[in-house]
Chains A and B, each alone.
Chain A
Amino acid sequence: MSEAKKVLVADDSETVTTLLVTALELEGYEVDIALNGIEAYEKGIAGDYDLVILDQLMPGLLGLEIIERWRNEGHQMRVIMLSGVDDDRTVVHSLDLGAVDFVRKPFRLPELTARIRQRLAN
């Protein structure tokens, strides 16, 4: 039996993390959470995750700042950005920094889990 894929959900809203953890565990993933930018940055480096779902607006460090730091330090983990900020510049900047996808809040849960499934399958 193959090992469960590991996903980090980083969002300062406990409601978002609870919802995503519930949905992703149902899909069979092993899920960890981070509730602020600094925790997300540190766990992302230490945790060997197959995918990170990263909120843009978090206390401590913004999502974009976290990806930028990871990339500058040579970490190439897959990131899906999640944001309530409907701003094209943020989307473009995220993708330029190597995020594999960008999902706007509010989101459709089945669509988000499908995107996650697809990214983890590749």
Chain B
Amino acid sequence: MDATRIGLIAIGVVFGVDLLLLLGLVSLKAVHRRRMERHDARRSAYVAVLSRHLAFEHHTDPIGSNAGDDDAFIDAVIDLRNIVSGTEIETLAGIVDRVGLRKRQVARLRRRFPLGRRLRAAVSLAEIGDESTAAVLIEHLDDREREVRIQCARGLGRMQYTAAIDPILERLGREHPWVRARFADTLVGFGAKATWPLIAYIRVNLGHDENVGVIEAIRILKNLGDGEAGPPIAGVLRAADDPEVQIAAVEALGVVGGPLAIAPLLDALRSPDWRLRAKAATSLGEIGDPSVAAALSAGLEDENWWVRRNSAAALNLLPGGDDSLIAALGSDDRFARDAAAEALADSGALGAARDRAEIGQATEADGILIDYVTAQEAVPA
């Protein structure tokens, strides 16, 4: 057999295999589409019968005994739960109980395989679970599958099951970063009820096991925005050795610290770590107390660009902060002058000054700002 003949046979085999694969793929897609169409048709039928139950309390149309195992039924229940409130939710809960939906989903979740059905069960329980399923959801916060763990936490958060706050917190530090972020979202969803468990968690774990979970807990407190957390976080800032924990505390104090956080933040503004100084400047701006203007003005002369930039931006947020920035334009320090000018341009103060100048109503401060920027623009790059 010559080489040309062998080559042609090889091409034919490859073409044949490709064709078979393509046909297989097309068939699979068609099967999947038909399955989805059947699912949608069943879902619509369930929505119709459930609607009759909701609209007429004595309605007696039977719901199939297998509904508790049917994803289409679960989707119909979830859809309706998102639309109605009040007694209709109780009616739906009664129907869900009658078909044994929760029990069947719990059984599915407890099986080892297949993952798709277990995950689906976790999502269902996250959406329609109640206190009777809370213990199972807590148990599966240790599930071997990440997405199942996430759904269990979400479900506990959705039902505002406060006894789940501590179990979720305990797992925060040892979780995969993706799961940790979703657990954090769940804890934020608990609102102020999570504040003191988070503070207790930080107190127990600060200084141990490389501060595992402490930074996440501080960030959650920041997102919760509950002022109760201010003094304890200020305490963390004083007590922590780990600069990453200190940075998280400084960031959180800008949101939840209030006036009591000013003193520790001014200390942080004098830290040898430039990251801490930069974050402290931002947080002081967020608190917005004009008494820190002098400290932030000093920050304009910091050796680090980020500290200068953040100090200028923070001054912009203070009542009367513009005056400090205008005054900084006369500083001997070129970096301080530039940081102040940039912040004034970013805040729109420069544009407003130019507008006033055009109509002959420029103030003395406007004149200083326009002269400074004009002089800078004239300097060749």
**CB-CB under 8 A for A109 and B84, given A23-B55, A26-B56:** yes
**CB-CB under 8 A for A108 and B44, given A22-B55, A26-B56:** no
Which of A13-21, A38-46, A69-77, A86-94 forms contacts with chain B?
Answer: A13-21
Do A14 and B47 have beta carbons less than 8 Å apart? yes
Q: Confirm or deny: B130 has a beta carbon within 8 angstroms of a beta carbon on chain A.
A: no
Do A19 and B86 have beta carbons less than 8 Å apart? no
65-83 of chain B: CB within 8 A of chain A:
76, 79-83
Main secondary structure of the interface of B (DSSP, over half): helix
Do B44 and A14 have beta carbons less than 8 Å apart? yes
Q: Confirm or deny: B132 has a beta carbon within 8 angstroms of a beta carbon on chain A.
A: no
**Bound: A73/B80 CA distance, A:** 36
Which single member of B48, B80, B82, B88 contacts A108 (CB below 8 Å)?
Answer: B88
Which single member of B79, B86, B87 contacts A15 (CB below 8 Å)?
Answer: B79
Query: In the complex, what residues of B have CB within 8 A of residue A18's CB?
Result: 44, 47-48, 51
Q: Which residue of B lies closest to A113 (CB)?
A: B55
**Bound: A23/B52 CA distance, A:** 7
Q: Confirm or deny: B54 has a beta carbon within 8 angstroms of a beta carbon on chain A.
A: yes
Query: In the complex, what residues of B have CB within 8 A of residue A105's CB?
Result: 82-83
Do A106 and B83 have beta carbons less than 8 Å apart? yes
Query: In the complex, what residues of A have CB within 8 A of residue B60's CB?
Result: none
Whole-angstrom distance between the Cβ of B45 and the nearest chain A Cβ: 10
Query: In the complex, what residues of A have CB within 8 A of residue B82's CB?
Result: 105-106
Query: In the complex, what residues of B have CB within 8 A of residue A109's CB?
Result: 54-55, 84, 88
Do B55 and A15 have beta carbons less than 8 Å apart? no
**Bound: A19/B51 CA distance, A:** 5
Whole-angstrom distance between the Cβ of A9 and the nearest chain B Cβ: 12
**CB-CB under 8 A for A107 and B48, given A19-B54, A26-B55, A26-B56:** no
**Bound: A37/B44 CA distance, A:** 21
Do A19 and B85 have beta carbons less than 8 Å apart? no
**Bound: A64/B86 CA distance, A:** 27
**Bound: A13/B84 CA distance, A:** 13
Do A13 and B83 have beta carbons less than 8 Å apart? yes
Do B56 and A19 have beta carbons less than 8 Å apart? no
Do A15 and B56 have beta carbons less than 8 Å apart? no
Query: In the complex, what residues of B have CB within 8 A of residue A22's CB?
Result: 48, 51-52, 54-55
Do B52 and A15 have beta carbons less than 8 Å apart? no
Do A107 and B84 have beta carbons less than 8 Å apart? yes
B contacts, CB < 8 Å to A: 44, 47-48, 51-52, 54-56, 76, 79-88
3 A-B pairs with the lowest CB-CB distances in the bound complex, closest first: A23-B55, A22-B51, A106-B85
With A19-B84, A23-B55, A110-B87 given, name 18 new contacts (CB 8 A).
A13-B79, A14-B47, A15-B79, A15-B83, A18-B44, A18-B51, A19-B54, A19-B80, A22-B48, A22-B51, A23-B51, A26-B55, A105-B82, A107-B83, A108-B86, A108-B87, A109-B54, A109-B84
